Amino acid sequence: MPSSARDEHNAVITWVDPPAEAKRGPLSGKRLLVKDLIDTRGIRTTYGSRIYANHVPERTAPAVQRLVDAGAVIVGKANLHEFAWGVTSQNPWYGTVRNPVRSGRTTGGSSGGNAAALAAGLCDLGLGTDTGCSIRLPAACCGVVGLKPRWGGIPLEGVFPLCPTFDTVGPMARTVEDIAVMWSLLAGKRVPEPRLAGLTVGVITRPPSVGDGDRPDESLAAEAHVARLEQLGARCVAAEIPEPESNTWPVFFHEARESHRATFPSRADDYGENVRHKLELAQSVAGDNVAAAYGAIESWRRYVPEVDLFVSPVLGIELPPENCNELDVRIPLTAFLRPINILGWAGLAIGDLQLIAPDDETVLAAGLAWERA
């Protein structure tokens, strides 16, 4: 039975017939689902939109090609929030992605199709993007694993931009081990050795705001992991990440506006209501605020933490229903996630556990140690 016949979760926009024989390599034969924000030559790539509904790229994004060259087999293009700007994978053109493990609850977004397909066994690997939460949130919602790598470490060529200062592309899978192998191929680096012993781990119970003064409430969810971290040799301490010097939202709105300049507002009616509303807000961002936000980001990215690794929850609130109003939940749901993109750090979601550090190797080493213990 073809995978498309089993996609009761609306996880995939376009299915692909796999080649008769995969390339030989460390991912040989692994079924790869690519987020439909990422170009694949000869395969329809919609960016989750009506505007690009019939778009067929002439090139394959380098990140995809590196996995295919290692033996992965593309089986389809994953459903997502329109243009990846949203946290619920409610898509007005291709339908809402449904959660295979928590029926009636959101899959998260914007890489919800990847996470749902992994949880349902429709693929072995996923390639997603993360600008403010979009790999880690759906991984937590669907009980799988996702890595938001350090900003700039994996090429974004062939990925439709949302906010280039925060955009990342990264792996999704059911195990940290698979994530680490994919990362190694994507980044061109060796898989790190598992390690938690000897690390100082900062336990975050209240994340910073993004400089807008809207600091989230405390969550003690990460404290549930302390005992096991200490059993594995880590030293856990209470920790906080300092606030940025200014509101960073203007950069997000400014760059999103620029990413859509060719089609918005000229084709505003071809956008769904949710993303159209956000782009309307983006039109009025002031230049002085944008400049201050860039300065705050540059300064914040120079911050050097006093711990080796941070641990936090992924989910900021209880998982909303799949038919929730995305505009109501997007800020509180992603409170522990957005600051990591602005800092440019790495974040690894293992279900609702988030491991955070300035570099990929630290979070992967800790994640491998956690998984293998």
* Domains assigned to the chain: 3-187 (3.90.1300.10), 200-241+300-372 (no CATH), 249-296 (no CATH)
Whether 284 sits among the annotated catalytic residues: the reply is no
Whether 110 sits among the annotated catalytic residues: the reply is yes
State how far the Cα of 213 lies from the Cα of 235, in Å rounded to an integer: 31
Tokens of 103: 């029926």
pLDDT of 1 higher than 50: no
- The one-letter amino acid code at 361 reads E
Sheet (strand 200-204) strand order: 12-15, 73-78, 31-35, 125-130, 168-173, 145-148, 346-350, 353-357, 309-313, 200-204, 235-239
Q: How many helices (H) and strands (E) does the chain have?
A: 11, 11
Q: What is the pLDDT of residues 178-221, one digit of tens each?
A: 999 999 999 999 999 999 999 999 999 999 999 998 898 899 99
pLDDT of 20 higher than 90: no
User: Which residues have C-beta within 8 Å of that of residue 99, sequence separation ≥ 6?
Assistant: 9, 105, 106, 107, 116, 119, 141, 142, 322
State how far the Cα of 314 lies from the Cα of 335, in Å rounded to an integer: 8
| Helix, strand, coil share (%) of the chain residues, nearest 5 | 30, 15, 50
Q: Which of 30, 35, 77, 148 is catalytic?
A: 35
User: Which residues have C-beta within 8 Å of that of residue 288, sequence separation ≥ 6?
Assistant: none
Biggest distance spanned by C-alpha atoms of the chain: 58
Percent of the chain surpassing pLDDT 70: 99
Q: Which of 49, 89, 111, 134 is catalytic?
A: 134
- What is the sign of the dihedral through the CA atoms of 259, 264, 267 and 272? positive
Tokens of 292: 């201050």
Do 81 and 113 meet the contact criterion of CB atoms below 8 Å apart?
no
Q: What pLDDT is attached to residue 62?
A: 98
pTM: 0.97
pLDDT-derived band at 3, boundaries 50, 70, 90: low
Supply φ then ψ for residue 255, to 5 degrees: -75, -35
Q: What pLDDT is attached to residue 22?
A: 76
Q: Which of 3, 49, 89, 110 is catalytic?
A: 110
- Reduce the DSSP state of residue 190 to 3 states and report it: coil
Kindly tell me the burial class for residue 85, based on how many C-beta atoms sit within 10 Å of its own C-beta (0-12, 13-18, 19 or more): buried
